[in-house]
Amino acid sequence: MNFASTAVQDELAEAALHYLTDRYPPARVAEFAEHGAHDVDAWPELVRQGWLDGDLGLVELALLAQANGTALHPVAWWSTMGAALPAYRAAGLEPPGTVSYGDGSSSCRARHDGATWRLDGHLRQVVDAGYAVELVVAATDGYGPALFTVRTDDPGVTLSAHDGLDPLRRSATVQLAGATGRLLLTGPAADAARVAGQRRAVVLACAEAVGVGQRALAMAIEHAQARVQFDRPIGSFQAVAHRLADSYADLELARSLVYRAAVAVADAEADGASGPTESVDDALACAEVSCPAAAVAACESAVQVFGGIGVTWEFPLHWWYRRALWLQSFHRARTDALATVADALLADSVTHRTTDR
């Protein structure tokens, strides 16, 4: 049995966390959040540090995503590394900077206009579109969904950003009116890249959720050790201590499920199996249910432990809470993971499997 991060992986995670907590103390995170802005200058440093290296496996990326959640890293790394990146890599390319993905397979048409592809239609809920140099767009080319890239500064591209719960992760609706597309992939290759992108986006978002919850728990622990009431630190009261112990349990269980999902997806990719397989679907669904829920619960417990301070605008905890809530609504909007699990368990033709083997 071997199901824990290696020393090398732990070092990677620690270095990432060290860099991020150094560069983004909560006050600075709050500053970006107040202005709904990202640290757009940070990207070259991330590239230099190897955060985009092609040899990072999904487990390593999940560890980086955890660190992003812990620090509330104000950079469009997730939108780049999740749904968009597999399309570039499958086409033998690297993203030109921060990018994002827009699924217009049912709402966008691609037509070939002599020498170039032109895209028309709209893309809903494109995450961090405002910070993307390019978008990967799934559009129908007459045969089926194909993947294109579109530059966000192209005259045919209009972005309208939405206000959301989390100002550090805003989505936009993107209108395409004869936007110039560069064809990346068609046919089965495009389908495979879309599936890979979706799976990676889920794994990295779930890992990020664990990091978010972890930070909220850490803040609450620090406060519970220091804050004295009735002549004792409040962490010595079981009502407080047990609540935090439950947060820890939720987060450790969620962490195990996101590691499992990362390994399951990586294994499936290595086998060249892009189609749904039982254990990948199950691993993703389990992580999708448990990770954001654990993060939300940890943030809510932390708010409670901080008492009045926890509900103020000035105290930065709410920015983490917002991210946890965003992660949960992102998953709910995408799929009903509980139904996926129940369908698989109670399908008449399938006997319950207790092991993946």
Q: Residues interacting with another protein, by CB under 8 A?
A: 1-5, 59, 217, 221, 224-225, 232-233, 235-238, 240-242, 244-246, 248-249, 252-257, 259-260, 262-264, 267, 279, 282-283, 285-286, 289-290, 338-339, 341-342, 345-346, 348, 351-352, 354-357
CB of residue 124 to another protein, shortest distance in Å: 28
Work out how close the CB of 162 gets to another protein at its nearest, in angstroms, rounded to a whole number.
31
Query: How far apart are CB 257 and another protein at their closest, in Å?
Result: 5
- CB of 326: closest distance to another protein in angstroms? 21
Shorter beta-carbon distance to another protein: residue 143 or 230: 230
- Closer to another protein by Cβ: residue 47 or 249: 249
Closer of 19 and 259 to another protein (Cβ): 259
Q: 123: which strand partners?
A: 174
**Residue whose CB is less far from another protein, 112 or 232:** 232
Q: Which one, 185 or 202, has the nearer CB to another protein?
A: 202
What are the CA-CA distances from residue 94 to residues 7, 47, 68, 84, 98 (Å)? 29, 12, 21, 10, 11
Residue closer to another protein, measured from CB, 55 or 354? 354
- Minimum Å gap between C-beta 278 and another protein is 13
CB of residue 225 vs another protein: minimum separation in angstroms? 6
Which residue lies nearer to another protein by CB, 237 or 315? 237
CB of 249 to another protein, least distance (A): 4
Compare residues 34 and 252 and give the one whose CB is closer to another protein: 252
**Could you write out the three-class secondary structure of the chain?**
CCCCCCHHHHHHHHHHHHHHHHHCCHHHHHHHHHCCCCCHHHHHHHHHHCCCCCCCCHHHHHHHHHHHHHHCCCCCHHHHHHHHHHHHHHCCCCCCCCEEEEECCCCEEEEEECCEEEEEEEEEEEECHHHCCEEEEEEECCCCEEEEEEECCCCCEEEEECCCCCCCCCEEEEEEEEEEEEEEECHHHHHHHHHHHHHHHHHHHHHHHHHHHHHHHHHHHHHHHHCEECCEEHHHCHHHHHHHHHHHHHHHHHHHHHHHHHHHHHHHHHCCCCCCCHHHHHHHHHHHHHHHHHHHHHHHHHHHHHHHHHHCCCCCHHHHHHHHHHHHHHHHHHCCHHHHHHHHHHCCCCCCCCCCC
Integer distance in angstroms from the first to the last C-alpha of the chain?
A: 13
Distance in Å, CB of 167 to another protein, minimum: 31
